[in-house]
Amino acid sequence: MSAAAAGSDRPVDLEKSAAEIPDAETTEVPEKLRAEIEAYMARYPDPRSATLPALEAAQRVHGWCSPQALEQVACVMRLTPAYLESVATFYDMLETTPVGRHSIYVCTNISCSLRGGDALYAAVRDAAADEPEEFNVRSFECLGACDIAPMASVDGVYVGPLALEDVPRLLDDARAGRRVLVEKQLAPRLVADTQANSREFPPHPPQEPASR
């Protein structure tokens, strides 16, 4: 059975005042964040469809979906923070409590598990245990990269196949702000979708058709 969504076990605060759309005159929103959210809103007939990428953008700025982050998104989208909180507490990649700077998701689903994913997760979790402000380590369901099992997502960058010996350098690279385990990243590999997981790399040039 999957774990309850974050926040679903918290009682409703009946003393809380009714949520209002934040005043655009008095709510400060970083210019870059505002522009990014507005660009997402422009993509859809109903601007609320931009809620998830807008929250993800605010999370990148604030580290989590803090009350201030929700306030800023609500101000730009002309929604209530309560509406945004209801979305943020449903999706578990949106953090509703402070977490470490680097999110490391270690896949422990079937393909990765069969290739040592559980031991890998335990090793990463234990190695990062003393640095909760630095690392947010979680086991995760299939991240869709079973061909590089066992694998992990480090701040959205996929690396694998991973061995237990890779754990210290994975954490060192992330801590130092370096590209993590460069030779094990998914992005430089030739794939059908040249944009896949290309956050750190420019897209590949078109691939030559295989000669017969």
Residue 22 or 160: which CB sits closer to ligand FES?
Answer: 160
Least spacing, CB of residue 116 vs ligand FES, in Å: 11
Q: How many helices (H) and strands (E) does the chain have?
A: 7, 4
| Count of residues that interact with ligand FES, criterion CB under 6 A | 12
Question: Which residue in 122, 146, 164, 182 binds ligand FES (CB under 6 A)?
Answer: 146
Work out whether 196 is an interface residue with ligand FES (CB under 6 A): no
3-state secondary structure of 37: helix
59 close to 97: Cβ distance less than 8 angstroms:
no
Residue 139 forms beta bridges with which residues? Answer: 106
Question: Which residue in 33, 54, 151, 171 binds ligand FES (CB under 6 A)?
Answer: 151
Looking at residues 72 to 131 of the shown chain, list those that interact with ligand FES (rule: CB under 6 A): 107, 109-112
Q: How far apart are CA 189 and CA 165, in angstroms?
A: 22
Work out whether 27 is an interface residue with ligand FES (CB under 6 A): no
Work out whether 149 is an interface residue with ligand FES (CB under 6 A): yes
Closest CA to 56 of 73, 68, 42: 73
- Label residue 203 exposed, middle or buried (CB < 10 Å: 0-12, 13-18, 19+): exposed
Work out whether 162 is an interface residue with ligand FES (CB under 6 A): no
Tokens of 210: 């295989």
Residue 35 or 163: which CB sits closer to ligand FES?
Answer: 163
Residues lying near ligand FES in the complex (CB under 6 A) are found at 107, 109-112, 142-146, 149, 151
